[in-house]
Amino acid sequence: VISPEPLEVELPNSEPQLVISATTIQPFGSVILVSRSFDALTVKDTIDFNSSTLLDKILVSNAIVEITYNSKKIVLKEIFRGIYGSVELEYLENINYDLYVKDPSTGLEATASTQYVDNLVDFELVQKNYDTIYSFTSTWSDESNRNYLIASNKLTSNLNLFKNVDHSFLKLFSSNYALYDASNKNNNGKYEHKPFYTPYVKGDTIIVSLSAINLDYYSYLTAYKKSGSILNQILAEPIRTLPTNVNNGLGYFALYGTKSKILILE
């Protein structure tokens, strides 16, 4: 048996697009990450974020990022490379927030629209510590008619946004957020975010959060989570297109309230 050499081929790349991601970071409130899509041959599976050349190519600095609501326009400031936020932004329910982003270096523009969802759900946190690991369990009763929730735990001592970039494999075993659909009310409004185990060193900080989100963002996160699951990547129909609410771009623009508990590990 002799194997032939593979054929080296060229595939046309799609034009770069703006990528919008909005999340809540305590204590900044909601922040917007603006980046660009990049050539599929730039990296294979992981990105070395020590490469400033690559980051310069991907993260959009000096962008114009504006949010308009109630006839008021807020210009977001760049608080970290590619991350934009503003303390002036108010969080009001039942009104539209319109996002406008322009990348001055490429001239790319994108828009998106969303509504803020406040979190009226509080939770209790049960923690247990073992020799080298901690476990956390969040429980809550949803009596606020918030149907879609995201519960997450994060080790803030390692809060380096660009660490642990791994597209696939470890995610199954280090999953630390979960999505909850309370719309069917099957659980009598009682929910439990199962134990999250983390190795720690003394002095590390854990932020445990619970956020209420709308159905569209829930659907987006569900697809996003599936696309990163190792089980899905091996045994599932691939998700080729993540849903987006960004016009002329990718990602998702969502504003939501978060309740958090901060623990310093002993």
Partner 1 sequence: MRIILFIFLFTGVNIFGQDISIEFKNMSIKSCLETLNEKYKANISFDQSMPEMSKTVNLNIKKSSIMQVLKSILKGTTLDFKQVGVNIVVFQKTTSMSDSDTKDLKMYTISGRVLDKSSGEALPGAYIQIIDNLQGIIANDYGFYTLRLSAGSHKVSISYLGYISQTEILNIGSNKEITFELEEDGIVMNEVVITEQKIKSEEHISNLQMSKLSVPMGLMSKVPTFLGESDIIKVFQLMPGVKRGGEGGTSMYVRGGASDENLVLLDEAPVYNAGHLLGFLSVFNTPALKKAEFYKGNADASFGGRLSSVLDVTMKDGNNKKFSGYGSISNIAANITLEGPIIDNKTSVIISGRRFYLDKIVDIFIKGLFPYNFYDFNIKLNHELNKNDRIYLSSYLGKDILDFGDALPADSISGNLNGNLGTDQGNKTRTFRWNHQYPNQRTFHNITLYTSDFNYNIKADAINNSFFINSSIKDIGAKFDVDYQANNARKIDYGIQYVFHRFNPSIYNSLKDKLEELPIEQKKIPNHEYNTYGSINQEFKKGLASTLGARISAINIYGKTFMQVEPRISLRKLLSKNHSIKASFAKNTQYVHLIQSSSVALPTDLWYPTTKNLPPAKSAQYSLGYFTNIGKTKDIQVSVEGYYKHMNNLVEYKEGAVLFFNKNIEDKLLLGKGKAYGAEILIQKNTGKLTGWIGYTWSKALRQFDKINNGKEFYAKYDRRHDLSVVSSYALTEKFDLNLVYVYSTGNPFTPITAKYLMPSPSLNGIDIMPIHAARNSYRLNYSSRLDFDLAFKKGKNNNLEFHMGAYNLLNRVQPSRVDVGLNKDGKLVYREKGILGFILSFGIKFKI
Among 67, 84, 146, 154, binds partner 1 (CB under 8 A): 154
Q: From the CB of 248, what's the least distance to partner 1, in Å?
A: 14
Alpha carbon separation from 31 to 17, 28, 173, 181, 193 (Å, rounded): 20, 7, 28, 25, 25
Q: Does 240 bind partner 1 (CB under 8 A)?
A: yes
The Cα–Cα gap between 71 and 204 comes to 43
Site for partner 1 in 171-190 (CB under 8 A): 171, 174, 176-177
Residues near 27 by beta carbon (within 8 Å), at least 6 away in sequence: none
Question: Which one of 45-53, 68-76, 110-118, 182-190 is the stretch in contact with partner 1 (CB under 8 A)?
Answer: 45-53
Q: Which residue, among 86, 141, 140, 95, has the nearest Cα to 117 in the 3D structure?
A: 95
Q: In the structure encoding, which two tokens stand for residue 74, read together?
A: 């807020």
Among 226, 259, 261, 263, binds partner 1 (CB under 8 A): 226
Q: Does 131 bind partner 1 (CB under 8 A)?
A: no
Among 29, 37, 80, 127, binds partner 1 (CB under 8 A): 37
Among 64, 74, 79, 242, binds partner 1 (CB under 8 A): 242
Site for partner 1 in 6-25 (CB under 8 A): 6-14, 16-17, 19, 21, 23, 25
The number of beta carbons lying within 10 Å of the beta carbon of residue 200 is 18
